Amino acid sequence: VPLYGGGGGVDLARAGAVFAGDLSPWQARLLLAVALAATRLGAARAVSGWLDG
């Protein structure tokens, strides 16, 4: 959940950033790599689907 404006999470969300929730940076990076390699959908759409459950 984005919290801060003025260059923080709110601005990133508006720009289309996909937040990883409770994943560590390494887990998020691995998830992105798998999404890019395994799907013909947009990576952001695939990752969002996996993170949302």
Question: Does residue 13 form part of some domain?
Answer: no
Task: Write the single-letter amino acid at 44.
Answer: A
Query: What is the rounded CA–CA span in Å between residue 39 and residue 46?
Result: 7
**Could you tell me the pLDDT band of residue 1, with boundaries at 50, 70 and 90?**
low
Question: Does residue 16 form part of some domain?
Answer: no
Question: Does residue 33 form part of some domain?
Answer: yes
Residue 53: pLDDT over 80: no
What three-state secondary structure class fits 30?
Answer: helix
Question: Does residue 2 form part of some domain?
Answer: no
| Structural domain count, the chain | 1
Of 19 and 36, the structure prediction assigns the larger pLDDT to: 19
Q: Which pTM value belongs to this model? A: 0.49
Question: Does residue 44 form part of some domain?
Answer: yes
Token digits of residue 36? 């890019």
Q: Quick: pLDDT tens for 24-48.
A: 989 988 887 877 777 666 767 777 7
pLDDT score recorded for residue 19: 83
What is the domain extent for residue 37? 21-52
What count of other Cβ atoms lies within 10 Å of the Cβ of residue 50? 12
Closest alpha carbon to 1 in 53, 36, 51: 51
